[in-house]
Structure 1
Amino acid sequence: MLWVVFLHTTANSRNLRWYADLASMIREYNECIPNLNTSTVPPKCNGQHRPLIRHSLLLKAILTVQPLKGRLYMKWNEQFNINREPSYEDIKQYIGEGEPIWSELLSNIENAYQVQPKMSYSKCSAQPGWNLKYRKSGKSLCTLYPMEGFFIGLVVVGAKEVEQVEMELGTFTPYVQELYGKTSFSCGGRWLMIEVKDKSVINDIQSLIAIRVKPKR
């Protein structure tokens, strides 16, 4: 496993250069990041973004260490800020190995409800960045947030849906059952932020959506 440095600074297109520049500065300012073995840092990063960290930024940056599979990690909202809307292909590439599950869920929702998603930017600190929202007849179906290797599906269980959801809760995966129990009722419902890392969770999301809005037959 390789260790790379994640800097809490937002790089723009003019600041993108080879990762070797960062590795060189890490060696020069090694006292800023104790316990980092720079010999494990690759001389180049094959990822899309290669931030150039100038001396002034390096001294001001807040540094943390993240274990990743050989490439520099940038958060979703840093790769695509409010002024740079991602394409659907960008989303698929970012999700990576979770893309087949993502595409299957989108297809199922669109076929069942005859709707198309709307790209939206969230400034919420809990889950910032671009996401996809599905609505039907003015009612929210779900919101989908791209993540590294998977995605999050937000489904709100409102006061009107609680009784039916709890009647069917035993048919859901243990993960969603536990998440439901841990999620407090606030702002008119239980806001379930469901991490979708395997196909079984798709059925739970579709069932929750169907309780909110019945699909077309």
Structure 2
Amino acid sequence: MHCWSFVAALLLLTAIGAAAQIPPAPPGSKPLPNSELERESPVFRRWIANPPDLLYDIENGQAFPTRLGIGIAFTPSRSGEIAYTATLQDVVLGGTRLSLSGDFWRSGTSNQQWGANARYYILPLGSYFNVAPQFGYRNLVIDGITRNGLEAGAKFLFALSPRAADIAFIPSWVSPDQGGAITRLLLEFGYSLNPRLRLTTTVQWVNSSIRTDTSFGVNLELIGF
């Protein structure tokens, strides 16, 4: 019995001595990545070389792109009349959640509109959902009759994939000097074809004391110009 106790004690002392000879890992050391995974994955190599700061991206990276676009639209209520459009959307002022936007829309000589506004996004710019109250000015020519005034509204943004695909709903109201308030509803579906080009389809509804029109359009946009 004493012999087995002696053997057990000897084995225990041997194990303790072997463990004491193993050098401790240096502070801050990380396990080496799988060499094959590192070799075959460019994304993994970038993450190893420069780990992303996800919190910073959410706070400062835009889930929506700044873009400049041109396009066409047609209005079924005007026998499919064709309009030409130009837009500049969400130029974010550095270090803030404030953005500037503008657009121009023209059909023939008696129908056109243009406007500019400022939006302030309530949530961080990298959020998948955001709301931005907006305030600006709009000029509309409807059947040759001009209406213009201050415009107020909000943008509701759903980023399905940050900077790649999103849906935006923008209701707004124009308060002209005469003729009663004008209601505008704009629905946008955007999809990035590549890092520089984006395709956006739009549905716009304009209701005024003169008439009501619904138009459908498509824009080709340059991203981050």
Q: TM-score under structure 1 normalisation? A: 0.31
Structure with greater proportional helix content: 1
TM-score, normalisation: structure 2: 0.30
- Greater relative contact order (CA < 8 Å, ≥ 6 in sequence): 1
Higher share of residues assigned strand: 2
Q: Which has the larger radius of gyration?
A: 2
